[in-house]
Structure 1
Amino acid sequence: MRTLKKLATVAASLAAVVFAQAGHAAEGFVDSASFEVGTNPQQRMFRAAAQKDWQQRWFAGSGRHLSGYWEGSLALWQLDAYRNVPGQEKNIAVIGFTPVLRYQADSKLGLYAEAGIGVNLFSSLYKNRDKELSTAFQFGDHVGVGYTTPKWDLGLRFQHYSNASIKRPNGGANWVTVKAAYRF
């Protein structure tokens, strides 16, 4: 119960930081802010992020085009078997920056598909259960689908983190996440 309260406090703090930036949307600083929750059998993740849309449109035709956005994020990972010790919990903060390509309707409403590859910096080395990432620097990539309304963007992502074998071990970490973004 104590861990759940701590996670809720950190998640609320992350969301407050991102949404506090919303006041800058009129000046073009951010176009949306999101909150994600992810899980897998070994850990949980909470992430707050801010997005800035690109104004470019590629491969336009039939009412659809390829575009994208920049995403800056701050996440909390809660590990449940740090250093392969069951029950030993560890929280890791992750800051990231990702360019994301999105195939969407010209109106930017309705169904979309997206993919991104970015960079992430971990607050400490990841060692959980039988997986280990030997560097604090990690690449993060994802593929996702979702649906956008004039104010909300709801999505589902498959996310993968690894250091591209810069240093071994490089066990990788995979997530399925649910995302809700509010558009300003």
Structure 2
Amino acid sequence: MQKKQTALKLLAVVGLLSGFQMAHALDLTPDSASLELGTGNKSQLVRAATQWDWGTKWWQSNGTHIGGYWDLSLAEFRQNKYQNIEDQTKNFTDIGFTPVFRFQKDDKKGLYAEAGVGVHLMSHLYDNNGRRFSTAFEFGDHVGFGYVFNNGLDLGLRVQHFSNGSIKEPNNGANFAVLRTAYRF
């Protein structure tokens, strides 16, 4: 089982790196990269991601608009009450892809608010602190806000929810508070 999990993680990293090479060849180079730390339901996550800006400005008014980006992520979760047993831990990996809408200034600096709903594939079923997922495929939705500084540094806070959308029971879902830092290239 451990070899299978290691192979899945290696495959995910190779896939991401191959994707970067292909994106560069097609001039789809990412516009930014982020690192996120989250906690919730007696578990933690660390997530690295890349983003591709849509380059659109919807409902432009008074120097603001709604834009967005694609977010491709790779995360590692640590469950600290696995199968509802105190101090029993289990790690798993998650690959996610999320379209994110962002209300922001036209120059993309300063305060912003955002929301997204994406898909996630987890290497193992989440089963922590009395909350169980019945599928490895999950939806991940979030709302958040943040601030983009003049140098391109983006600091944000999100509330994220994972659930399979009642595809299969049980569907307890789990919530996380996520601190995000990103840098625009």
TM over 0.5: yes
SS in 2 for 1:87: coil
What's the secondary structure of 2:169's corresponding residue? coil
Distance (Å, rounded) in 2 between the aligned partners of 1:78 and 1:173: 13
CA distance in 1, matches of 2:24, 2:38: 28
The residue identity in structure 2 corresponding to 1:130 is G
The letter for the 1-side match of 2:175 is N
Q: Could you tell me how far 1:28 is from its partner in structure 2?
A: 3.8
Superposition map of 1:1-184 within 5 A: 24=24, 27-149=27-149, 150-184=151-185
Cα offset, 1:86, TM superposition = 1.2
In 2, distance between residues paired with 1:61 and 1:54?
A: 18
Aligned-partner residue type, residue 166 of structure 2: S
CA contact (8 A) 2:40 2:174 kept: no
2:183 and 2:62 mapped to 1: Cα distance? 27
The alignment's C-alpha RMSD in Å is 2.2
Shift of 1:182: 1.0
CA contact (8 A) 2:38 2:178 kept: yes
Q: Tell me how far apart the structure 2 counterparts of residues 168 and 44 of structure 1 sit (CA, whole Å).
A: 24
Number of equivalenced pairs: 169
Q: What TM-score do the two structures reach when normalised by structure 1?
A: 0.86
**What is the one-letter code of the residue matched to 2:183?**
Y
Please report how far the alpha carbon of residue 41 of structure 1 lies from its aligned counterpart in structure 2 after TM superposition. 4.3
TM superposition shift of 1:181: 0.3
Q: In structure 2, what is the Cα distance between the partners aligned to 1:83 and 1:178? A: 26
**Superposition deviation, residue 40 in structure 1:** 1.9
Per-residue CA deviations over 1:94-141 (Å, capped at 9, x if unaligned) read 000000000000000000000000000000111112100100000000
> % of aligned pairs identical?
51
AA at the equivalent of 1:145: F
- Counterpart of 1:7 in structure 2 is none
- Mind listing any 5+ residue stretches in structure 2 that lack a counterpart? 1-8
Change in 2 beyond 3 A, CA 1:128/1:94: same
Gaps of 5+ in 1: 1-9
Map of 1:3 onto structure 2: none
Which TM-score applies when normalising by structure 2? 0.85
Encode CA deviations 1:55-89: one digit per residue, 9 max, x unaligned. Answer: 11110010000010000000011001111111111
Further displaced range: 98-107 or 79-88: 79-88
- Residue 3 of structure 2 corresponds to none
